[in-house]
Amino acid sequence: MAKVLTYTTLSDGRRIDFILDRGKRKNAVLAINEGRLTVRVPERFEVAKIRNFIEQHIEWIDLNLEKSAKHSGLPRTFEDGEEIRLLGQKTIITAVKSDRYFKPRLEDGKLLIAVCGSVDREYMVRQVQTFIVELANREITESMRRLTARMGLFPKKITVKDLSASWGRCSSNGSISINYKVAAYSKAHIDYVCIHELAHLVHMDHSADFWALVERYCPDWKKLRGSMRSDDGEE
């Protein structure tokens, strides 16, 4: 069954956002990746039981959400003052009281979000998330523009999207997808991910020849890959 982004309200009034994954399984399971909670439950698991399950494990959830979010650099609360990482640099989400709306922008280590009146969480989520996706698109497009010309390898299509278990994918028809979450990392990391996927246009495996091609254009690939693997799966 499809995964859905949802939330529950705990007995203390606190809201917990999570991805609900119903499927053919016997038990409920929690998973945390990149500051995001996933609750995997049997197909007929009742909504009330999901909330109770989360309540029973809230201390574990809080501890590991904080660890995961800090490591990945991606937003978790989207609140004013939250520290995140964009293009490898520490960035503070900053709500700015303004009579006029302006698009989110980076300035002096801050991601400035225009706020008229009270701070609405859903508004903050939309503004921050949209900025990160647009930033990822710009940086990946620029990286691919340089690297395709340099490597002489041209994918059929390039898509920037949310990939749940990898930084990038290359399909057998020559289309490449890059995870927008690479926006948390430096431009060198983004180049590595792009080089990795472009190399798959020649070698669809992870053979010695594949890694030799990657190393030709990214000599520091081992260091860059190592710093990203603790956040997510293999590309």
For each of the domains in the chain, give its residue range(s) and CATH number, in order of start.
3-72 (no CATH), 133-229 (3.30.2010.10)
pLDDT of residue 219: 97
Asked if residue 214 lies in contact with residue 207, where contact means CB atoms within 8 angstroms, the answer is no
Q: Break the chain down into helix, strand, coil percent, rounded to 5.
A: 40, 25, 35
pLDDT of residue 125: 92
Backbone torsions φ then ψ of 226, nearest 5 degrees: -60, -40
pLDDT of residue 148: 98
CA dist., res. 94 & res. 83, Å (int): 9
Tokens 């003052």 correspond to what residue?
81
Collect the ranges in the chain with pLDDT lower than 50. Answer: 231-235
CA dist., res. 135 & res. 88, Å (int): 13
* Closest C-alpha among 162, 149, 163 to residue 198: 149
The dihedral sign for the CA sequence 136, 137, 142, 144: positive
Backbone torsions φ then ψ of 123, nearest 5 degrees: -65, -45
Sequence-separated contacts (24+) of 73-78 with Cβ below 8 Å? 73/184, 73/185, 74/34, 74/35, 74/132, 74/181, 74/184, 75/35, 75/128, 75/129, 75/132, 76/35, 78/121, 78/124, 78/125, 78/128, 78/129
How crowded is residue 97: how many other Cβ atoms within 10 Å of its Cβ?
9
Report the residue count for the chain.
Answer: 235
CA dist., res. 175 & res. 157, Å (int): 5
pLDDT of residue 171: 94
User: Whole-prediction pTM value?
Assistant: 0.74
Token readout for 102 is 């302006």
pLDDT of residue 28: 94
pLDDT of residue 69: 62
Residue 176, classified by CB atoms within 10 Å of its CB into exposed (0-12), middle (13-18) or buried (19+), is buried
Residue ranges in the chain assigned as alpha helix (H): 47-56, 58-72, 121-151, 187-199, 208-217, 221-229
pLDDT of residue 120: 86
How crowded is residue 100: how many other Cβ atoms within 10 Å of its Cβ?
6
